[in-house]
Structures are given as structure tokens and as C-alpha cells.
Structure 1
Amino acid sequence: MNQIEIKKATLSDLEILQKVGKQTFMETFATVNTPENIANYLEESFNTNQLTTELTNPESRFYLAVLDQEVIGYLKINFGKAQTELINENALEIHRIYVLQQYHGKKIGQLFVDKVLEIVKENPVDYIWLGVWEENHRAIGFYTKNGFIQFDKHIFTLGDDVQTDLLMKRQLKN
């Protein structure tokens, strides 16, 4: 396999981000949610206005995993007030790590976590945190292996389905 490049996304990447975002979300959650709930989420989260707002927010960043000029996954992080829950303003939230299914097991998620660790060296925070669906055992195992521990839970509503996300964090030594 050729080298996978992690590059910062810009507004010019909006369309590919929409495409990969929708595809990875569908691959991950379509079998365990209703088509209506999936469709509503995709429309709310990946419409042009919403993504433009997120891409231009100075406290959010997107990174793309690129292999042979094809985007195969993305990472979204939030600082400060851009975090989905303001538990600690001096923390960094991994909001999304999504990789196209055909590239699962190729260590792309690890490249994204490594990128986050690189970012926090330049932008020191108290800890890194994220929310992960309690039924996504593969992701929970991955985050645990990377030093994240559960510290809370919150409700994630997908359409008319109320789900529980585990909140996990990795404390950093400053």
C-alpha cells in the first residue's frame, strides 16, 4: 500500500468531505438505524451550510486521509467553544474519526490519533476527549488501546432513536 497522507481540509474540500462523511456514516450505522433517521442525520450534518460553518470555524479542524489522491477517511477536532459539550474549555474533542469500510484495519484511525497527539504538542490542552456509541465495541477497544478511559455518558439522539454515547478521555501530561 502506498503512503497515506494526512492533510488539513479547507473549504475547497467541502464536496469530498460531504461524500466521504455520508458514505462512512452509512457504512457504520445504516444497518442499526432506520433509513429515515439516517437520512435526516445526513441532511442535518452534511448539508453545504452546516459543513461550511464547521470548516470556517477557527476552533474546528478537519483532516483528510488521502491514498493515491483519493480521500479514504477524515478526522474532525474541536477546541474551546466549538466542542459539542463544554466540559473543559482547555480540552480537545475528537468529534469524528471515520474511515471508509474497505480501509478498516489499515491503521488509518491510528494515523488520525497520532495527528491529534501532534496537534496537542503545539496547542497544549488538559486532555483529549470523545464520545463513542456504547454499541461500537470495535471503536471502544481502539480508543482504550490508545489510553482513553470512560469518564461519563451522554445521550445522542438519532432522529427518534435515543442512544447512549460513552464519553472517554485521555489525560495529557503537561
Structure 2
Amino acid sequence: MEIILRQIAENEIVPLQEISKKTFFETFSEDNTQESMNIYLEKSFSKEKLFTELNDQNSEFYFAELDNEVIGYLKLNMGLSQTEDKLDNALEIERIYVLKEFHGKKVGQVLYQKALEIAVQKQVHYIWLGVWEKNDRAIAFYRKNGFKEFDKHIFRLGEEEQTDIMMKLDLRNQI
């Protein structure tokens, strides 16, 4: 199983929108109301919003593909495009999502390794992210990769407020 990573092009809004909505729904629909999910999916993954994000010079998107099929993706933010401004010289992993059928097949690890490679190239001191406090699978994944909790923030899903745990990895000893 060879997973190919490639940067997402501006003309790939539709496949980005499809994988974004599908993976977010698979990950969170069991624990949230249909109404909140629908509001979030329509607002956060509209073609207009994705177009703006894809054209942001401080953000990068990558598809994970297997046999020419998109099975996951990665979104990274730098500078002013980060969702929080709590760490100096940092890179944010805003999204690593993988289709449920590929969970446990190292796709998330391949996407994470790409984020780590970019962080080292850019010589940032930290990689950080926010993860829902109830997403035990993701929290365990990031802890396994050396991330430590350092704060919390509110994530809005539709009309609901949820708590995200903010986690960071200090790269200053690894560069």
C-alpha cells in the first residue's frame, strides 16, 4: 500500500470539499446533533471558504492518495493564518483527516510526517494543534508522537461550544 502525498491545486476544490465533509462527518457525527453537523459542514467546507483557504499563502493543503483515490488530507497554517496566536515561531496542523475505512493503516502517520518535514524545513520551534477533548483516538495519536497539552480553546460546532485541547510538540531540540 503506497500512499502518495501531493499538494492540493486550486482547481481541486470539489474533491477537497468532498473529502473534508465526508471525513469530518465520519469522525464526529456519532457524538453531535445532525443540526450542528449540517451547519458546520456547510459553513466550514463551502467552496468559497475552501477557495480562500487554498489561496492563502500561509496555508498548505495536501491530499493522501491510494491508487489515485483521495483517502485523506492535511491542512497546515503559519503566521497570521493560524487559528490561535499563542506560540511564537510555530506551525499549526489545523486538519489531519482520513477516511474511516483507512483508520489504522498509517495514513494519518504519513500525513503527520509530512507536517513534521515542513516544520523542520521552515525551522519553526513548535508544531501545535487543537483536538476535541472527546476525540480519544486523536489525542492518543498525538501523544504517541510526542505532543503535550498546553492550553484549551473553544471550538464552535454549529450552535454548540466544545472544548479543544491544544497540544504542542517542541522541535527546538530536533532541528
State the TM-score bracket (shorter-chain normalisation). over 0.9
In structure 1, the residue matched to 2:23 is 24
Are 2:52 and 1:53 equivalent residues in the alignment? yes
In structure 1, the residue matched to 2:80 is 81
Worse overlay, 28-37 or 143-152 = 28-37
Q: Which runs of 5+ in 1 are unaligned?
A: none
Q: Which amino acid aligns with 1:37?
A: S
Are 2:12 and 1:13 equivalent residues in the alignment? yes
User: What do the CA deviations read for 1:92-134 (whole angstroms, capped 9, x no partner)?
Assistant: 0000000000000000111011101111222111100000000
In structure 2, the residue matched to 1:142 is 141
Shift of 1:139: 0.4
Shift of 1:89: 4.5
CA contact (8 A) 2:126 2:170 kept: yes
TM-score by length of 1: 0.97
User: What do the CA deviations read for 1:54-113 (whole angstroms, capped 9, x no partner)?
Assistant: 000000000000000000000000000000011135100000000000000000111011
CA contact (8 A) 2:38 2:158 kept: no
Q: Which amino acid aligns with 2:93?
A: I
Worse overlay, 5-14 or 62-71 = 5-14
Distance 1:117 1:162 in 2: 30
In structure 2, the residue matched to 1:40 is 39
Distance 2:61 2:154 in 1: 24
Three-state SS of the structure 1 residue aligned to 2:124 is coil
Q: Which amino acid aligns with 1:24?
A: T
Q: Which runs of 5+ in 2 are unaligned?
A: none
Distance 1:110 1:80 in 2: 24
In structure 1, the residue matched to 2:94 is 95
Are 2:164 and 1:165 equivalent residues in the alignment? yes
In structure 1, the residue matched to 2:127 is 128
CA contact (8 A) 1:79 1:89 kept: no
In structure 2, the residue matched to 1:116 is 115
Three-state SS of the structure 1 residue aligned to 2:86 is coil
CA contact (8 A) 1:6 1:63 kept: yes
TM-score by length of 2: 0.96
Are 2:105 and 1:106 equivalent residues in the alignment? yes
Once superposed, which parts of structure 1, at least 4 consecutive aligned residues long, lie more than 3 Å away? none
Distance 1:58 1:89 in 2: 18
Three-state SS of the structure 1 residue aligned to 2:85 is coil
C-alpha RMSD of the superposition: 0.9
Shift of 1:13: 1.5
